[in-house]
Structure 1
Amino acid sequence: MLVAPPVLPPEGSDLLNLTTLGKTTSPPDSSRFTHMLLAQGLDEPMGMAILPDFNVVIVERKGAVKLYNAKEKLLKTITQFDVYSGIEDGLLGVAADPSFTENHWIYFYYGLAGTRNVSQLTRYNLNGDQLDLRSKKNLLEVPTQRTYCCHSAGYLTFDSDGLLYMSTGDNTNAEEIEGHNPTDERPGRQLSDDQGTTANSNDLRGKILRIKPLPDGTYAIPEGNLFPKDGSQGRPEVYVMGCRNPFRVSVDPKTKFVYWGDVGPDTMIPAEEGMLSYDEINQARKPGFFGYPYFLGNNEGFPKYDFETKKEGPKQDPLRPVNNSPNNTGIKNLPPAQPAMIWYGKGASKRWPLVGKGAASAMAGPVYYSDLYPNAKYKLPDYYNGKLFIYEWVRKWIMAVTLDSEGNYVAMEPFLPHLKVMAPMDMQIAKDGAIYMLAYGTNWFAKSADAGLLRIEYSEGNRNPVASIVTSKTVGPAPMSVTLSAANSHDYDKGDQLTYEWKIGTQKLKGKEIEYSFRKAGIYNIALTVSDNHGGAGVATQQIKVGNTPPVVSISSNTNKSFYWDGTQLDYKINIQDAEDKKIDAKKISASFNYLASKSDLAAALSGANHGNMKFVATEKLYASLDCKACHTMDTKSIGPALKAISKKYQGQDDANELLATKIIKGGSGNWGTYPMPPHPDLPLKDAKEIATYILSLEKPETAFPLSGTLNLREHSDTQTDGVYVIQAAYTDQGANGIEPLKAGNHLVLRNPLVQIEDYEEGNVSVGIGTLNTDFVTYVPGGNGKYVSFKKTDLTHISKMRFRVQQDGEGGTIEIRVTRKDGALVGKLQVPPGKAKDPKQGWLEMETPINPTNGVQDLYFIFTNPDKTKRGLFNVDWIYFER
């Protein structure tokens, strides 16, 4: 059997004209898709099974089985399997039997706890929300190794003929590969040789298996698998071999083509696009060998690498691959290697530019056919008929892939890009046409607040309302009174009448806004259903955590808390209170004082400088723009080590910056475990060194910042008026009553007393541009009745204000008021009329005294003239606050 080359699109042609396929060329209005968050706060959700009654079984890697009750809108744990969850093992897959309504069978795949290194495919009876553990049937065991990471896969799905497909990872040592593929044939290194697993016809790993479950808990081998039923050439369960980590699998309900995403390696082998480190979307039209560990992508070959001599040999012929490894127990002459349908590396793809760049984890979703949902309320539009959905765990996109009548790739396009699912883990279409998506969440190998279950509905006619919950608080002590508001909910169909129902535990309450008192400590799941008068409904959920009060952090000062002046000092005092902590733990306090040369960095500094050193604000923005956060968190191990752990390891090492910068660009594995770090070849060395310096700063010993004192304000310059001084303080409490530790903080920002008028926060003015001398001036035209406002401005010790104004109009008054537009008058400036012959003329500085005013105020500048017929009064450039 020879291998037909894949039908390839032109480079850079993700989106093609589809009129030749007889398909609609215009995608549907995105507002007709309504997404609902049904459940949140999951702990590593790995897969789901949508039941006929729209209840959803969700499995979490550490062994929990949860059931989302669609009618009650509640998520509950129905059992906890005792699983081995080391490395990437755990409870990995779940699928409901196609005849679930009659037999109530549900299947699970998980690593068995204990000393036996096996993973099991099991079947149980599920009646309502009761999983009958006594009904267990063990269909299949997969022997594994638990010494090295990685790749367990474990997805389960059925085809339209009732055949069960199960994916298994290669379960091979992914480290110490020396920039090549794991084919180490040296004695004692069999766990580092993929030729003993994925390329071994007698091994169940690195495969997609296909079986027919039988009523007695055994299974039959269907016709048409890769090897004969008698096992003479390999395991008869094998449908596809030559996979690395076939993470998510789907079967076309009409053609029976099998699709899967295969997560690729990180090698240093040059390839058509960068390095031979592709992730793949594969299509199996029939059983076959899909290349790994000998080939990737379009059958690009790996050189034969001798781990003993460190020399490279020739590549294999994809038409005649041979497995001569001493670790191979199956056939030596393998079937011809099949190329991938879509493949892309860590850099930008020339052939499929829409896939992006960086770390990757490709997954395959369902193929959609309109006629399979004839009466479905939420069926997708015909535009998506025959299209394959693929998605990316790390890059967080979903694509709709157009195929021609023979299944060849034609084009891809983004699907619901506004959805921004956090690490999509599973995607399925329910019988009513709704799309269900499982979001793994932000944190890898950990519980995430944004890990949850989403339902996406499409409506041709009446659109479902979009439900939204706004709460007065989400965490606090017991008892806790909370205002729950649905005011931000809306309906795209104008004129619809909306009703609101809240579900808290077993209670149901109605109203657009309600007050609810939570009497006992615990975590409460709130569900809001917003219904219209045409039968449409939208759902939103929110978690309320009762039992722990957030800390209160305050920063006080006797000086002005808004501005700095030359030669001045700032006295300060940081105070921390926590209702549950009997004693404030000094080790849980973080405080710092910094000067930022540009206030444009302030927002990033306040939100991102977790370690307290604001000089790395720009670097943190660079770091956030890359894919690093997909694998690293600040304090805890994710798929990669914590940033602070990296910093600690390399403290005092002279070449640490150079070493880390090189690692960031080239990638690698082995220093921190088994998962390889992807390379960033496009990153300039200068940027890589900046990131390395930032990481190394995280655990440098620092003198604790005192909680009170006096600071000299000397870092600003006369020419730089855009800088700010910032004091930050934060405290993380000890947690209480089953609620995790909470962090709260506060800050004090001092800015230059010269304030540009166009930087106002509220107002009804336009902004003009003129010239003063040779400089451009951005100013505000002072029209009669116009105003600008600056919020939360401290007037303590302010004695007068100076303005630069231009006499270009009828003249009038600048009224200075506090709290609101008609609030107390604390000062006013009379500006004479005048007419500037050109933009350079008529500018002058004028000042007015200010009534003694203490404390932070909302400050309003009102431009007025008693004669309302006079419109243009003057122009204002800036305001200077004087002591």
Structure 2
Amino acid sequence: MFISFAKYSLYLGAFLGLSSLAHESMTTPVKAENAQVWADTLNRPEENRFTKSVLSNDLNEPMELAVAPDGRVFFVERAGKFYVYDPVQKKTRLLYDFPVKAVDKYLNGLLGMTIDPNFAKNHYLYFFYTIEDKGQTKQRIGRFKVNDDSTLDIESEKSIIEFPLDLEVSAHTGGSMAWDAHGNLFISTGDNTVPFESNGHAPIDEREKRPIFDAQRSAGNPNDLRGKILRIHVESDGSYTIPEGNLFPKGMEGTRPEIYVMGCRNPYRISVDPATSILYWGEIGPDAGTDGVQGPRGYDEFNQAKKAGNYGWPYFVGDNKAYNQYDFATKKVGTPFDANALVNNSPYNTGMKNLPPAQKAMIWYPYNQSAEFPKLGVGGRCAMGGPVYHFDASVSNPNKLPAYYDKALFVYDWMRNWIYAVRLDEQQNYQSMEAFMPTTGDFRRPVDMEIGPDGSVYLLEYGSVYGIDNEDARLVKVDFNSGNRAPVAQAIATDTIGLAPFKVAFTGDKSHDFDKGDKLSYQWKFEGKAISTEVNPTYTFSKNGIYKVSLTVKDQLGASSTSTINIKVGNTVPEVAIATTDNSTFFIPTQTPFKYAVSVKDKEDQLIDPKRVKVVLNYIPKVSKEPQMGHQQLTSTFSLGKSLIAGSDCKACHQVNAKSVGPSFTEVSKRYREDKTAIAKLANKIIIGGGGVWDEREMSAHPQLSREETTEMVKYILSLGNEPIENRIPQKGSVTLKEHVGKEQEGRYVLTASYTDKGSLVAPQGKTKALLALNKTDVLVLRPTKVYGSEADELNNVSRQGKRLGSIHNGSYFVLKNIDLKNIEQLTYRYSSRDKGATLEVHADSPTGALISTLNYEPTGNWNTYTEKSAALQATTGKHDLYFVFVKTTTPNKDLFSLEWIDFVPTAVEKSATKATVGK
């Protein structure tokens, strides 16, 4: 298929390929940040003018699509199903189920399709699919005729071209097809090579009986059709001829004339500019997270071929970063390969040895942020080459892409879920790029993108997880609205849960229209009936039930949108509160008992069942290596490992309980439950990548993650295989806080109390009665008394510098929110100041609120010279937002202070109590 198991998460490295692309005409590297911007950037369309609509849901591994001149959308699934979406009937219909050879669970099968340029006359469709012929597995390009009723004429098939593959290799298939302006058909093929014993570098293993580990036999072999982009001209009888200008002339010994581009790893999606016939493709690159003795780290690429060429794999990657010659038997490292004097001496090479010079990629990027193309982000990689758009004013579709995108090349990444529009100069060289629908696109693993004859964008989305039947796999369409935009309805209720009679105030005044000056009308529906045209109505629900309330907002031209709210009548939310006589923000960084009590009230439950009250205490040992958010946000992430996984690409290849590309997290946990070294070992493996534990597939490298982050991820994963063991504690009592002792003081104690009431039977609209049970949770988070500067919740004229705060001037301030100062007697600051003394004031609840502490400090003589100084603190009650305000009215009064941390020092009573407890 396409996804490189190592890239996608913890496993995607084997499928797609990792790439090596190049652009012959580029003479100097392009720095994206310094590139010339689009000439008409000021006329960039507003993103809210683009609308994404779902044409077909419930797909299973969709692969490639083609749009017919009449608007029909043909598309295929890897397992063999071929569909058509009818825009008139707005329905999707299965046309044929190909009996394909879909290897194991992930690779080969029905990989691609395209529509003949003269489809309106000849009705030809082409399919790239896997067959078994006389005991040998092959890839076939088959041509079929489709009837007027969209049925496929199976008997009409013509086998255009076939080539064998090594079936035992679960990697790198290619499968995309495209046409140029001269009616030539381009076909992408993967290198069909096992990448897993190369440490994410070049698979050039020349040992005996290991041909499938050597990409020199395929991508680097001029006499093999794998690892290539082919170019042929299909004749009316199903035969093909070779166009002028391919890489090797017909009849040249040791070569195949069909080859247009060689040296590809997995050119999974390709496109051809219909105006210039220039070829573009995304190349899925190798998985190494760092440079090594064998050569450079892995890069994905977007490539451009203005003419036939060799794009370097497996000898080069990116902008011709060279791999070293390497003996897999002796582990001896040789000299780097020479891009201008490439020689393929592999014993598995059946073609000529002297190869064409290697070409550079147009765009290349690793797992980490790219120095040349930083906009592309970090994380898993899966580059896909999309279409070039040519604006045609004569196209009648009012929703076609605007002229702003004329001549733009669209590229996308399956793993990172983005689409970029790339701009080229008059010589068709890279100029700049910008994200397409970056905030509203909600792309879900885009796997194929086409611009239809109507000028609208059609997109197949593979869905969230690799290799399974995703609920969110779908065919979508993106339209552009150049005219009137529908208003955005936003219904809000003051309360959504209560007892009958339940009076609720609703507001619709947050609804808005992007077209300024439009007159809006409002219609509210309660209990299925249109009741009110007010903007902010009130309604009373007389009976218990679950009701859907809708607000429809319409403009004067009839465009409208609807917002809904569910109102639950028949129960009220319980009250749960955690109380303590100790400080409710900080724990003292030595052993001490913490006293607490949980109170629960419920209007409907006369007696509170203690079994329904759940009180749990957990300790998170480390929140982050270098926190980039305030302490409020950090301490609210109570399952750090889980949240880190949710924000990474791991879920593309792993699920909690079900197997995907990689094993389930539960399986991983069970395998390593007795391994005391598992946390350190797996945390390191996530960063550097690896394989060979579960099968031959590799886990991708994640060099962008810190060791602390991967450690928390592993801890969460390993916890899943055990029986649920919660640190349950009584509803009232005291606990000894000791998990932090001897560790870095960056952890959090999280005390969670919850209650689920007994519920009541209510009747949702049009449904039978259901139990309406409600839950309420209260959380108390205790953090260390030492707070690093970067953990501030708000900054005003202050900047974060790692863990410190700097660039502080007169009037600058930072804020720590919801701080309890009970039993805290002073603040100790670790700071530096080169040459200016000033005053640091602490105010409660605003920059000009009650003054509760003052620090008059002297300079330390150097920014790198830090000292500690304390200031007394006035007693306060309750929690307050603390504003730390810097004051120096005389000039010069800039660059006053660098703060490393603040320590909230406990009172002598607390200290002595702590010592007494420890002494016992």
TM over 0.5: yes
Are residue 125 (structure 1) and residue 145 (structure 2) matched?
A: yes
Q: 1:488 to 1:281 in 2, by over 3 A?
A: farther
1:749 corresponds, among 777, 786, 790, to: 777
Does structure 2 conserve the Cα–Cα contact (< 8 Å) formed by 1:768 and 1:778?
no
Q: 1:222 to 1:715 in 2, by over 3 A?
A: farther
Normalising to structure 2: TM-score of the pair?
0.65
Whole-Å separation in 2 of the counterparts to 1:273 and 1:463: 56
Whole-Å separation in 2 of the counterparts to 1:231 and 1:166: 21
Whole-Å separation in 1 of the counterparts to 2:120 and 2:657: 46
Aligned-pair identity in percent equals 38
Whole-Å separation in 2 of the counterparts to 1:182 and 1:248: 22
Are residue 101 (structure 1) and residue 150 (structure 2) matched?
A: no
Are residue 454 (structure 1) and residue 454 (structure 2) matched?
A: no
**What per-residue deviation string (whole Å, max 9, x for no partner) do you get for residues 381-413 of structure 1?**
332222211111111111111111111111111
Note the C-alpha offset of 1:445.
Answer: 0.5
Note the C-alpha offset of 1:539.
Answer: 13
Does structure 1 conserve the Cα–Cα contact (< 8 Å) formed by 2:450 and 2:457?
yes
Does structure 2 conserve the Cα–Cα contact (< 8 Å) formed by 1:373 and 1:431?
no
Does structure 2 conserve the Cα–Cα contact (< 8 Å) formed by 1:425 and 1:440?
yes
SS in structure 1 of the partner of residue 84 of structure 2? strand
Whole-Å separation in 2 of the counterparts to 1:298 and 1:224: 24
Does structure 2 conserve the Cα–Cα contact (< 8 Å) formed by 1:67 and 1:129?
yes
Whole-Å separation in 2 of the counterparts to 1:665 and 1:753: 30
SS in structure 2 of the partner of residue 343 of structure 1? strand
Does structure 2 conserve the Cα–Cα contact (< 8 Å) formed by 1:273 and 1:345?
no
Counterpart in the other structure of 2:58? 41
Counterpart in the other structure of 2:77? 60
Note the C-alpha offset of 1:724.
Answer: 2.5
Counterpart in the other structure of 2:499? none
Note the C-alpha offset of 1:161.
Answer: 2.1
- Matched residue type, 1:120: R
Counterpart in the other structure of 1:82? 99
Does structure 2 conserve the Cα–Cα contact (< 8 Å) formed by 1:726 and 1:748?
yes
Note the C-alpha offset of 1:337.
Answer: 0.9
1:637 corresponds, among 626, 647, 659, to: 659
2:187 corresponds, among 158, 166, 188, to: 166
Are residue 320 (structure 1) and residue 341 (structure 2) matched?
A: yes
Does structure 2 conserve the Cα–Cα contact (< 8 Å) formed by 1:728 and 1:746?
yes
Note the C-alpha offset of 1:132.
Answer: 2.2
SS in structure 1 of the partner of residue 651 of structure 2? helix
- Matched residue type, 1:28: P
SS in structure 2 of the partner of residue 433 of structure 1? coil
Does structure 2 conserve the Cα–Cα contact (< 8 Å) formed by 1:770 and 1:776?
no
Note the C-alpha offset of 1:158.
Answer: 1.8
Are residue 27 (structure 1) and residue 44 (structure 2) matched?
A: yes
Does structure 1 conserve the Cα–Cα contact (< 8 Å) formed by 2:145 and 2:152?
yes
Note the C-alpha offset of 1:88.
Answer: 2.0
Note the C-alpha offset of 1:279.
Answer: 0.5
Counterpart in the other structure of 1:740? none
- Matched residue type, 2:777: V
Q: 1:8 to 1:491 in 2, by over 3 A?
A: farther
Aligned residues: 679
**What per-residue deviation string (whole Å, max 9, x for no partner) do you get for residues 749-771 of structure 1?**
245799xxxxxxxxxxxx99999
Whole-Å separation in 2 of the counterparts to 1:116 and 1:745: 60
Counting only pairs closer than 5 Å after superposition, residues 245-644 of structure 1 correspond to structure 2 as 245-267=266-288, 270=291, 275-371=296-392, 375-418=396-439, 419-463=441-485, 492-493=514-515, 495=518, 561=576, 594-595=616-617, 617-644=639-666
Does structure 1 conserve the Cα–Cα contact (< 8 Å) formed by 2:294 and 2:324?
no
Note the C-alpha offset of 1:181.
Answer: 1.1
Whole-Å separation in 1 of the counterparts to 2:182 and 2:60: 33
Counterpart in the other structure of 2:752? 724
Note the C-alpha offset of 1:644.
Answer: 1.6
Counterpart in the other structure of 2:36? 16
Counterpart in the other structure of 1:506? none
Does structure 2 conserve the Cα–Cα contact (< 8 Å) formed by 1:319 and 1:337?
yes
Note the C-alpha offset of 1:499.
Answer: 14
Q: 1:315 to 1:705 in 2, by over 3 A?
A: closer
Counterpart in the other structure of 2:698? 676
Q: 1:536 to 1:126 in 2, by over 3 A?
A: farther
Normalising to structure 1: TM-score of the pair?
0.67
Whole-Å separation in 2 of the counterparts to 1:273 and 1:327: 20
Note the C-alpha offset of 1:60.
Answer: 1.1
Whole-Å separation in 2 of the counterparts to 1:107 and 1:415: 30
Counterpart in the other structure of 1:112? 131
Whole-Å separation in 2 of the counterparts to 1:248 and 1:276: 22
Deviates further, 366-375 or 384-393:
366-375
Does structure 2 conserve the Cα–Cα contact (< 8 Å) formed by 1:274 and 1:347?
no
**What per-residue deviation string (whole Å, max 9, x for no partner) do you get for residues 469-522 of structure 1?**
99xxxxxxxxxxxxxxx999997456589999xxxxxxxxx9999xxxxxxxxx
Counterpart in the other structure of 1:691? 713
Whole-Å separation in 1 of the counterparts to 2:206 and 2:530: 69
Counterpart in the other structure of 1:738? none
SS in structure 2 of the partner of residue 354 of structure 1? helix
Q: 1:301 to 1:468 in 2, by over 3 A?
A: farther
Are residue 198 (structure 1) and residue 230 (structure 2) matched?
A: no
Are residue 181 (structure 1) and residue 202 (structure 2) matched?
A: yes
- Matched residue type, 1:92: L
Note the C-alpha offset of 1:294.
Answer: 0.6
Does structure 1 conserve the Cα–Cα contact (< 8 Å) formed by 2:617 and 2:749?
no
Whole-Å separation in 2 of the counterparts to 1:41 and 1:283: 34
Whole-Å separation in 1 of the counterparts to 2:393 and 2:379: 37
Whole-Å separation in 2 of the counterparts to 1:82 and 1:140: 18
Note the C-alpha offset of 1:322.
Answer: 1.0
- Matched residue type, 2:662: G
Structure 1's unaligned 5+ residue stretches are: 471-485, 501-509, 514-528, 541-553, 573-589, 602-613, 730-743, 755-766, 780-839, 846-883
1:208 corresponds, among 229, 243, 257, to: 229
Structure 2's unaligned 5+ residue stretches are: 1-21, 493-507, 524-528, 533-551, 564-569, 581-594, 602-611, 624-635, 738-747, 758-771, 783-816, 827-841, 847-873, 880-920
Whole-Å separation in 2 of the counterparts to 1:290 and 1:152: 17
SS in structure 1 of the partner of residue 108 of structure 2? coil
Note the C-alpha offset of 1:73.
Answer: 1.5
SS in structure 2 of the partner of residue 13 of structure 1? helix
SS in structure 2 of the partner of residue 623 of structure 1? helix
User: For the aligned residues, what is the CA RMSD?
Assistant: 4.9
Note the C-alpha offset of 1:82.
Answer: 1.7
Counterpart in the other structure of 1:580? none
Does structure 2 conserve the Cα–Cα contact (< 8 Å) formed by 1:36 and 1:467?
no
SS in structure 1 of the partner of residue 478 of structure 2? strand
2:257 corresponds, among 224, 236, 239, to: 236
Q: 1:160 to 1:464 in 2, by over 3 A?
A: farther
Whole-Å separation in 2 of the counterparts to 1:768 and 1:627: 34
Does structure 2 conserve the Cα–Cα contact (< 8 Å) formed by 1:377 and 1:433?
no
- Matched residue type, 2:366: G
Does structure 1 conserve the Cα–Cα contact (< 8 Å) formed by 2:459 and 2:477?
yes
Does structure 1 conserve the Cα–Cα contact (< 8 Å) formed by 2:30 and 2:430?
no
Higher relative contact order (CA 8 A, sep 6+): 2
Whole-Å separation in 2 of the counterparts to 1:844 and 1:620: 32
Note the C-alpha offset of 1:449.
Answer: 2.0
Does structure 2 conserve the Cα–Cα contact (< 8 Å) formed by 1:91 and 1:108?
yes
Note the C-alpha offset of 1:189.
Answer: 0.2
SS in structure 2 of the partner of residue 259 of structure 1? strand
Whole-Å separation in 2 of the counterparts to 1:25 and 1:556: 52
Counterpart in the other structure of 1:138? 159
Note the C-alpha offset of 1:466.
Answer: 8.1
Does structure 1 conserve the Cα–Cα contact (< 8 Å) formed by 2:301 and 2:362?
yes
SS in structure 2 of the partner of residue 370 of structure 1? coil
Q: 1:414 to 1:492 in 2, by over 3 A?
A: same
